[in-house]
Structure 1
Amino acid sequence: MARLTLNLLRRANAINPQLVPLLKATRSLQLAIAELRWIKQELPRSQWTDAIRKRAQLVPLQYILGSQPFGSLDILCSPGVLIPRWETEEWCMKLVDVLRSAAVSDISVLDACTGSGCIPLLLKKELPALQVLAVDLSDKALHLALENMRRANVTIDVQKVDVLNYNAVPEQRFTLVTSNPPYIPASDFDKPLLLNGVDASVRLHEPRMALVGHLEFYRALARDIVPACHSEGVVLELGYEDQYLETIANLPLNWSHGRYFDLAGNLRCAIAWKNGSSMECLGRLVNENQSHP
């Protein structure tokens, strides 16, 4: 993270004094200018001062503005629910393209740890024929997912389910399982960003429940939920190689798998599919043999 120098603060003040407190959060003059523009574009003038004050206290901009673009949707954001990230949006849009081009019919999707509902709602918005169930354990997340469903003008099923207890998963067949589960180990969550930890804004203001977790989620999804739901494909967001290895180690034997890397070159998803099934199309998402920045 860039250091705040007197010269940088003077430059910001010369442009607009309102940029100075924003620098505490952005550490970048360019980002501070962009955030000030968004605040003024999306909030009434009467809220600008309070918004800048909150941002200086590291409150995420999405909570202040109240939403975050996600594909063709504008997802409502509120404290207590994880903010959608561009990395998730990226693979979700590519998944839409793969499913659309494969022209597979009768696809049902289970999205586990759904949070704001951004993944299942975008899938349903872009592919209306999908049957979608979104599950989460957080009441705040479920409430927001329902709000976002109404905002997106689509209909999906939303239920309270603990994915670590597969007996609680509805006894239905789901062709595809998607999830962005908690994947930051507690030891990393408590570290500063410079030590491969988490940004202070995330630690202070986003829900630990949606962020902190590790191998147990990938084990449960691959070993328990996939067989119980007779699934033929999975797309699981992750952040560590051992989470990918845990996923493939617990999948049925007649499955193939591969890694998906995001635009920043980071390992981002475990992709897997049952051989000979309609979900073999997921292999098009695998890009581990391509060069990355």
Structure 2
Amino acid sequence: MDINHYSEASASLKTVRDCLRFAVSRFNEAELFFGHGSANAYDEAAYLILHTLNLPLDRLDPFLDARLTQSEIYDVLDIIERRTEQRIPAAYLTNQAWLGDLSFYVDERVIVPRSFIAELLREQLAPWISDVERIHNVLDMCTGSGCLAILAAHAFPDAHVDAVDLSADALDVAQYNVTDYDLEERISLIESDMFDKLEGKRYDLIISNPPYVDAPSVAALPQEYKYEPQQALGSGTDGLDATRVILEHAAKHLTSNGILVVEIGHNRDALEAAFPNLPFTWLDVSAGDEFVFLLHKNDLS
């Protein structure tokens, strides 16, 4: 947005409806990529405007014709400009991301939370876990912002959760979220290169949304993804380096009835080709049955 365009908008826009129309037009014109919470220009514009104005995020209609003060117009235009010109993901602009009904603090030290495992945890991994009370120890490998660890703590109220990440910066963000949800006594944050610091630990459930983007896809990622920590996205030539480590070590860290649940993006064919003898169970999520697998301890042994 050039200065003249911005100045013209600041003088002309009066209402939330005006700002919404302007934002959608700018986002479409810039051909932004929407993959960090919103699916289209309208939803993202509505979210950013409501957040900036400190209005309820689920109640746009009552405010559409509300006239804004000049300072509010400037604030809205500023966030529209940053999203359009710098292509910063909306979650980093607002320091907020949602998984289901829960919101989490995020910044550029962690990837923006997005995981199909969140859907499965809302159902307490039924029917694969039939007795929620038997889940006493959970591991969230590659925890990032801590979002899945927090969802696991809610799903399994009798469980203690170890949340592991290689990045100390990511764990600082996770600590903020764990404290925000008052779960310090139930979630332990562990800085570790995968399983290195977990010697002797056993879990009833291991979950992981590890890096899984293959090298060609990393090279082709839209600008929005370049704000995210690259070590949390790419995982070797075929995207399976982190998953290989998990499959190699998970068995010795699972209890006798323990299960492993891992998200692997679009890598189902590559994974099955690499591990033809593993009886993967592919779990149904909103996008289909090729993104998250489940294995029992005996499958891995």
Matches within 5 A, 1:139-154: 139-154=168-183
For 1:266 and 1:189, locate their aligned partners in 2 and report how far apart those are by CA, in whole Å. 23
Counterpart amino acid of 1:189?
V
What corresponds to 1:286 in structure 2?
A: none
- In the TM superposition, what are the counterparts of 1:110-121 in structure 2 within 5 Å? 110-121=139-150
Q: Does 1:243 align with 2:271?
A: yes
- Distance apart, 1:224 and its partner CA: 1.7
Q: Do the aligned residues in 2 keep the contact of 1:222 with 1:248 (CA within 8 Å)? A: no
Q: Paired residue for 2:228?
A: 206
Distance 2:118 2:150 in 1: 11
Q: Provide the rounded CA distance (Å) in 1 between the counterparts of 2:189 and 2:276.
A: 28
CA contact (8 A) 1:25 1:55 kept: no
- Residue matched to 2:59: none
Distance 1:122 1:199 in 2: 29
2:247 maps to 222
TM alignment of 1:114-263, pairs within 5 A: 114-155=143-184, 156-163=187-194, 166-191=195-220, 198-202=221-225, 204-213=226-235, 214-230=239-255, 232-239=258-265, 240-241=267-268, 242-244=270-272, 246=274, 249=277, 257-263=280-286
Task: State the alpha-carbon separation in 2 of the partners of residues 248 and 32 from structure 1.
Answer: 42
Structure 2 gap ranges (5+):
1-16, 54-71
The structural deviation recorded for 1:59 is: 0.8
Q: Tell me the CA shift for residue 80 of structure 1.
A: 2.4
TM-score between both structures, scaled by the size of structure 2: 0.73
After superposition, residues 35-184 of structure 1 pair within 5 angstroms as: 35-44=44-53, 45=72, 47-56=75-84, 57-85=86-114, 87-98=116-127, 101-155=130-184, 156-163=187-194, 166-184=195-213
Q: What one-letter code is carried by the residue in structure 1 that aligns with 2:46? A: R
The Cα shift of 1:19 comes to: 3.0
Residue 52 of structure 1 and its aligned partner are, at CA, apart by 0.8
Letter in 2 for 1:236: V
The answer to whether the Cα contact below 8 Å between 1:13 and 1:20 also exists between their aligned partners in 2 is no
Note the aligned Cα RMSD (angstroms): 2.9
Structure 1: how far apart are the matches of 2:240 and 2:227?
24
Q: How many Å separate the matches in 2 of 1:87 and 1:126?
A: 15
Q: Pick closer, same or farther for the CA change 1:189–1:80 going to 2, 3 Å.
A: same
TM-score, structure 1 normalization? 0.75
Give aligned pairs, total: 250
- 1:145/1:263 Cα in 2 relative to 1: closer, same or farther (>3 Å)? same
| Displacement of 1:93 | 2.3
**What residue in structure 1 maps to residue 23 of structure 2?**
18
